[in-house]
Structure 1
């Protein structure tokens, strides 16, 4: 009985489970092969971002993040503050990373 009460108390005191999201940001302002480095650094500084894959040829960034810690709006603001305005890519807005 005591164990059950402790288990319930522990479960109720845990924060809500995070929801990981993966989005693709369109970043048309990339003009050279060094641009992805700046964009990746800016996105990786964001709380909740767990993975970033930036493609210069595709002019896009695929970002996996915890939606309880950040948002798409905050991600696009981070790229804009780094000098590369971005928008959520409407088609194929999320993609899985290869393992």
Structure 2
């Protein structure tokens, strides 16, 4: 399993993370877990890179109307 942290733009209420996590965990093959944080505006995803690529996870979030991108290392 691989882990990635994504920066999410466009979340406007505390229900948005529930929607994002539900989409990723229930509808996207290869995603083991998703933890989206409204305050930090980010999503931590654990996934099987043999099944799905990080770019596909970003695309799934963007399809919900948010803007997701890989978080830069600091």
- Shorter-normalised TM-score: what interval? over 0.9
Query: 1:47 maps to what in 2?
Result: 29
TM-score, normalisation: structure 1: 0.70
Query: 2:2 maps to what in 1?
Result: 21
> Counting strand residues as a fraction of each chain, which structure ranks higher?
2
TM-score, normalisation: structure 2: 0.92
- Point out where structure 2 has 5 or more consecutive residues left out of the alignment: none
**C-alpha RMSD over aligned residues:** 1.0
The ranges of structure 1 where at least 4 consecutive aligned residues each deviate by more than 3 angstroms after the TM superposition are none
Q: Deviation of residue 84 (structure 1)?
A: 1.1
Deviations, residues 12-58 of structure 1 (Å, cap 9, x unaligned): xxxxxxxx110001002111111101111121121111111110000
Query: 2:59 maps to what in 1?
Result: 77
Higher relative contact order (CA 8 A, sep 6+): 2
Q: Highest Rg: 1 or 2?
A: 1
Deviations, residues 65-92 of structure 1 (Å, cap 9, x unaligned): 0001001110000001111120000126
- Point out where structure 1 has 5 or more consecutive residues left out of the alignment: 1-19, 93-99
Specify the SS of the correspondent of 2:9: coil
